[in-house]
Copies of this chain bind each other. A is one copy, B any other.
Amino acid sequence: MTDLDGLLSGLPSWSTDPADLARAGVDRSGAVPDGLPLVVVHATGTDDVVRTVSHAAAHGIPVVPRGAGSGVSGGALAGSGTIVLDLSRLNRIVEIRPDDGIAVVEPGVITADLDRAAAEHGLRYAPDPASAAFSTIGGNIATNAGGLRCVKYGVTRDSVLALDVVTGTGHLLRTGRTTLKGVTGYDLTSLVVGSEGTLGVVVGATVKLLPVPLATATATAYFPDTRTAVEAVTRLRRRGLRPSTIEFLDHATLTAIDDAQGGDLGTRGRAFLLVRTDGYGAEDEMAAVVEVLKATATVVETSGDAAAAEALLATRRQALPSIERLGRVLIEDVVVPTTRLADAVAGIERIVRDTGVRIFTFAHAGDGNLHPIVLVEDDGPPVGGAVDALFALALDLGGTLTGEHGIGVLKRDWLAAELGGTSLDLQRRIKSVFDPAGVLNPGKAITDR
């Protein structure tokens, strides 16, 4: 502990209370750390971050940056011998410049709070992770969070213009710019986004804001089977339609919602799509969407107003909570080319039959991004084989291990299979450029050698 004394005496806020440490070491992944962190430091400003990282680098102590702890891949997992650097108190919306379409924020800002502040100016922060109500912008940046609107508006990376980052040497690095375009120097902003705190600690971000769409329309549809539902997504694309959201729920998920809510969704069809359009012409575009859906759907419902749209959206929103009440879950996050989505769902159904593990699948169908929710049952079969089979399936279909949740610790054994040696080696050397002492969230994202 003596290594820490010099650090802690210069910091305004930290704790070594075991209860605090226990909370600071875990996230929503369900992964269990190998012990308690040394200390949790509550950063109150950039200086605290610089001081903590510099001290850690000098003494070779791992630092685990942390926002809301809402990650599901174990990116914020902190075990024995680590310093947890909690950034949740850096939660100021520093500036909104509506006519420039940008906001400057600290990393601990809750994503939905930024969106609300933007809305006062008729603007919004386009990315909308399902966790927006409790995850932070810093965490969204760490994992390059996605969400329901990505199919039209892109992921977190597409909305981040500039970052203030404390690198592993304790230097304050400014990446990007506050203009909407620019190509001076390499794109360090995109490099840091999605790096899960392994290249630097984000202490500030400049993000884009877009006008709130002037209109939105919503429809839900039930299909006789998955393949028919996925084909409808393809036909939407072929018609040149550009929905802002295309969500898929499989039959297991519909049934789980029914069990939780006492409904009968599972009787309406074996697969579900929710489609939204927005902007000028949203209603006209939705009319074209509905025409496509009706060609093969058993039931199609559209919203007449905002309240009705909210009722339709509720089905999608209930998916995860309805499954989570059945027990502990692993929230997976694979992506396949959109035309392989039905093959992916069929493959998952095969894994369920082969292993006996229960998996509920919903997907951002427009992006090919599936969230198979793996139920970990105390008296059920071990899930490891099913998860491995899932990753193998995604790669076999030309896909990727993670669309928007990150590698964390849960997927690191599969990293080399996707990236290959040349890329992984190069990425490790890039990490060394940012973090020569290897103290920033070691073992996460790209893993150690």
Contact = CB atoms under 8 A, between A and B. Distances in A.
Nearest to A146: B181
A185 interface: yes
Given A144-B183, A211-B240, A241-B211, A157 B190 contact: yes
Nearest to A419: B185
A423 B194 contact: no
A2 to B, nearest CB: 31
Interface residues of A, number: 96
A108 interface: no
Residue in A102, A211, A281, A404 whose Cβ sees the most chain B Cβ within 10 Å: A281
Given A171-B422, A175-B423, A178-B398, A404 B183 contact: yes
Interface in A130-167: 143-144, 146, 150-151, 154-155, 157-158, 167
A15 to B, nearest CB: 31
B403 A179 contact: yes
A338 B100 contact: yes
A383 to B, nearest CB: 21
A399 B179 contact: yes
Given A282-B280, A398-B178, A422-B171, A99 B184 contact: no
Contacts of A429: 433
A185 B446 contact: yes
Given A339-B100, A433-B433, A187 B179 contact: no
Contacts of A179: 335-337, 367-369, 398-400, 403
B423 A174 contact: yes
Interface in A185-205: 185-188, 190-191, 193-195, 199
B338 A180 contact: yes
A134 to B, nearest CB: 20
A150 B208 CA distance: 14
A99 B338 contact: yes
Contacts of A175: 423
A402 interface: yes
Interface in A410-431: 411, 415, 418-420, 422-424, 426-427, 429-430
Contacts of A367: 179-181
A70 to B, nearest CB: 16
Output the residue of A210, A423, A434 with the most chain B CB within 10 A: A423
A122 interface: yes
Contacts of A411: 184
Contacts of A368: 179-181
Contact of A182 (B193, B400, B427): B400
A409 interface: no
A187 B186 contact: no
B241 A182 contact: no
Interface of A: 97-102, 122, 143-144, 146, 150-151, 154-155, 157-158, 167, 171-175, 177-188, 190-191, 193-195, 199, 210-214, 234, 237-242, 277, 279-282, 284-285, 288, 335-339, 364, 366-369, 398-407, 411, 415, 418-420, 422-424, 426-427, 429-430, 433-434, 445-446
Given A100-B337, A179-B337, 5 more contacts: A102-B337, A143-B183, A184-B402, A184-B411, A188-B423
> 10 tightest CB-CB pairs across the interface, nearest first?
A281-B281, A280-B281, A190-B190, A211-B240, A280-B285, A182-B400, A181-B403, A179-B335, A144-B183, A183-B194
22 contacts: A97-B339, A99-B237, A99-B339, A102-B337, A151-B180, A154-B158, A167-B426, A175-B423, A177-B399, A179-B336, A179-B368, A181-B367, A181-B403, A183-B404, A183-B405, A183-B406, A183-B407, A185-B424, A188-B426, A211-B237, A279-B285, A429-B433
